[in-house]
Each structure stands twice: as C-alpha cells, then as structure tokens.
Structure 1
Amino acid sequence: MQTPRRVRDLGVVVGALSTGPLNAITDVPGVRVGQTTISAGELQTGVTAIVPDWYAEGLPAAVAVGNGYGKLVGSTQVDELGVIETPVLLTGTLSVFRVADALLTWLLDRDPRATSLNPVVGETNDGHLSDIRRRPITPDHVHAALDSASADRPAEGCVGAGTGTTALGFKAGIGTSSRVVGSGTVGALVQANFSGTLTVLGRPVPATPIDADGNSCMIVVATDLPLDARQLGRVARRAVFGMGRVGSDFSPGSGDYAIAFTTNRSPGSAFADRELKPVFQATMDSVEEALLNSLTMATTTTGHRGRTARAVPHDLIRLA
C-alpha cells in the first residue's frame, strides 16, 4: 500500500507558471466544490458538484467536444446562449439523468419564481468497477454534494464522481490544479476515465490495459479573468488538448468534454484575444496536472464482479 500523494509532491512539476495557494479549481474566487461518495462493494460511484457563486445570474461559459460519445445534459443551451445558470455536476453514465432531475429540484426549491432552468450534468462510465445498471444515485446524494460545497481544496482520487473511474491503465478519479495568470487564476477539475499510455512530462509509463466498459473524460475549467463566451470556447478546446499530454489515445468510444466558465462579472471588462496565450498555457498545464493528480491520489479499488483497478506505483512517476 502507498499513501496517496499529489504529483507535485512526487517531484513532477508541470510547466513554469505558478499555482494558486491550493493548486485547485477552488483557487478561483467564487468557486466551491462538494462531493458525495458511494463505495460499497459492487457500487463505486458518486457525485461531484462544481458550484460557482452568482450562477443564477448567468455566467459566461462554453463547451468543447473532443469526442461526443457521451451524455452532457444542458450543453446545447450553453452553446446557444453562452452562459451557465446552474452548478455543474458530474456522475456516472446511467445516473446522469437522475442527477439532473435532483439538481433541478434543488434549484427550484431555492427559487420559487423559476419556470425554466438548464441543469448542466456530465458523466463518465464507471461500469468497470460499479454496477452501473443499479443507478444508485438518489436526490439525497446530489443535494448533499451541493450543500457541502466549499472553497477548500477538493478531495482527489477515489471520491465523488471519480470513485469508480480508471484511466491510462490505472485507477483514477477526480483531480484538480490551478495556475496564476496576471491578476487572475485558471483552475481545472477533471473526472478521468479514458484509455491510452500514461505519459509524465513526455515520458511514457506503460501499463497493462484495463478492459473497462467506457473511456471518457469530463473537464471543468474555471477562471476569474474577463473572458467572453467565444473566448471561453477557445479555452475549453485547449483543455481537451491537455488530455493528449498525459497520453490519451482519444479512442472512438471516449466522450471527451470540457466546460469553461468565468466568475468575472465586471461590466464593460474585456480581454484581448492577443493576450490569451498565457491563459491557454495555464489551462493546458492545469488540466495536465489535474489528470496526473487524479491518478496519484487514487488507491487500488476492487468493485463490481470482483474487478480490480490498481493505483499507479509512485516509483514509476518519480522516475518519469
């Protein structure tokens, strides 16, 4: 057994930009995260809630689709209007619709005047380790994740929506990281569940492939920089690019999505396109480190039908 450690604690430093104080998506002012975990034998799943302040007012946002083999509830309205108006929730594939309904209930309870809301819920398939057909997520699980959301550094590895996921031949899960860009911050949170060859700072770390049922990745990028929806679309596309850095093979059955939003609500503020290069760099660095954290913070897990996904040996990471 090894103690879960963040990849930076293993001597792996991604890029030259400074991290925020927590090195997490919650370094972005106004962003909170809450999680509910189900880890009981055949069931290895959960909910991760990314809750930005002021979501009810509509925050500039965009979605990028690397490969659309997945279920991202609410994405078409985000594309159409360029805003999110709810928290962003992540879960397992067949529970995504129950989570969306429970999120809607939570929102309606808080706004008795609301008649139309667009819940945003993403997923990856955790069926390798969890009995996905049982769809065990209840409204209580969803509401607990939302109600517990805090600005602390989110737990990583086998928690929340990452409880039953695998990536790059190893047990994976939730990961997060952040970068400082000028007077602002870019933060990423990932739900890693995809195939390929783990690559650390350009060096492959081969593993025996896991014969998992689904291969996908959900990426949420938050910032407090004054970006509009079009620019956030460019940021979201770079977030998907970050998967390639850690060795994703972008397989045909992978649903790879990124959602980017800003908490900046300054009227009349603007960010020039020519100034986006460090934002792109911060995004890809944050995503890369978050994906690596999702692996090094995970622990070996046995779940559905006795299947086991092993944690990546830290010695392999240190040697990379």
Structure 2
Amino acid sequence: MLRAIAAAQPGPVEEGTVGAGTGTVAFGWKGGIGVASRRLPRALDGYTVGVLVQANFGGVLQMAGLPVGQALGQYYLADVVEPGAADGSIMIVIATDAPLSDRNLARLARRGLAGLARTGAAFSDGSGDYALAFSTAESVRRTPERRAQLATVVELPNARVSPLFEAAIEATEEAILNALCMATTLTGHRGVTVEALPLERVAALVRAR
C-alpha cells in the first residue's frame, strides 16, 4: 500500500478490467474499476467530490432509470438463479477537498450507498457493501501537533454539506456505470468466462426509450 501511495500521480485513472477490478462481477456482467467526479458551482463553495469504485455486486441493473438488466434478461432472481448470484463486495471511496469533520465524512460515505442503490443493487445477504470518505483539506487534518495541544479546526457547517451529498450520490452512480461500460470480457480461474456488458444492445435500449 505504501508503494502504491508513493507511486500515485495526477491524471486520468484507468477503468474497467484493471487492478483489483480484474476479478469482479457486477449484475452478472464483468465488473471493474470506475471513477467519476462532480465540482460544485462557486455559489455552493466550489468544492470537488471524486469517487472510485470496485464494482462487485448483484441486482437488477438500471441506467438512468432504464431497467437494462431486466430488458437483457440477466438479473438477480431471474428464473430462480443459484444462491449467491447477487453477492460480492463493492468498495466505494469518496474524496473531497471540502473541510469536513469526521462525522460529516461518515455521512458523505453513506450517500455513496444511495448512488449504489440507483444502479439497481440488491444489497443481498452475502453482499459486503463498503464506503469510506476522506478530505484532503489541510484545515481538518489531525496532525501530531494538533493532537498534542488545543487546536483550531476550520470545517464546513452542517447547513452547507447537502450539495456535497448530492454530488457523492451522482458520482457514485456514474462511477459504477463507468466500471461496467469500460470492463472487457475475461476468462479467469478454472476457465470461467464473464462477459462484458453488451454496449450495443444497451445503446439500442436507450435509443428506443
């Protein structure tokens, strides 16, 4: 992990069947890594919210309210599928430059699950759905110096965090869909093949809407 942090650099994040996303499955199709972000307008403080997901879960895929999974005939509980078909462990990481307290970061993380729900996730019994959030704002860092004495921490008040919640919901939903759209068909352990989401068929569904 320390090597990964040391090697981190700015720029586009690779999405799809990469890294920890290589072995993932989402809605029965190939899952993967997805990212998305939102920047609030200046009138709402101009903060940025970025989301990275490792999409690995099940349910009935929806894209902008369109029941894609149902239309394509691949979804949780269709024809009494085998137990565990909706299981998995999605990881949602939310970053922001807004100066949020630990309490409001926990609230922000929970909004990631609202974005997950928008995609049609089943939140099944065996599904581990994890979300965490952190702030890059220097004013809320708990440094050793601040912990050793009385310190002033500048943070955003509760009354101004709701726009960040909406940003986290939207970005999480988009990041999951990006993971699905960027993933490629993969044959892995024991020769098991997981097909990528058929984007041409999805596009046809959108056009016919």
Shift of 1:244: 0.6
Tell me what 1:291 maps to: 176
Tell me what 2:166 maps to: 281
8 Å Cα contact 2:26/2:57 also seen in 1: yes
Tell me, what secondary structure is at the counterpart of 1:274? helix
TM-score after normalising by structure 1: 0.53
Gaps of 5+ in 1: 1-102, 107-142
Q: Identity over aligned residues, as a percent?
A: 48
The one-character-per-residue Cα deviations of 1:245-281 (angstroms, maximum 9, x if unpaired) are 0010000000001010000012642212121221111
Tell me, what secondary structure is at the counterpart of 2:154? coil
Structure 2 distance, partners of 1:276, 1:252, is 31
| 2:94 paired residue among 221, 234, 249 | 221
Tell me what 2:107 maps to: 234
- Are 1:201 and 2:60 matched, yes or no? no
Instruction: Single out whichever of 260-269 and 201-210 deviates more from structure 2.
Output: 201-210
8 Å Cα contact 1:200/1:317 also seen in 2: no
Say what the alpha-carbon RMSD is for the aligned residues.
1.8
Gaps of 5+ in 2: 77-81, 140-151
Larger Rg: 2
| 1:163 paired residue among 19, 22, 44 | 22
Tell me, what secondary structure is at the counterpart of 2:74? coil
Structure 2 distance, partners of 1:227, 1:317, is 38
8 Å Cα contact 2:96/2:136 also seen in 1: yes
Tell me what 1:269 maps to: 154
8 Å Cα contact 1:227/1:271 also seen in 2: yes
Shift of 1:315: 2.4
* Structure with the higher fraction of residues in helix conformation: 2
Change (3 A) 1:214 1:249: closer
8 Å Cα contact 1:188/1:287 also seen in 2: yes
* Structure with the higher fraction of residues in strand conformation: 1
Shift of 1:162: 0.2
Structure 2 distance, partners of 1:149, 1:256, is 25
Shift of 1:209: 4.7
8 Å Cα contact 1:205/1:316 also seen in 2: no
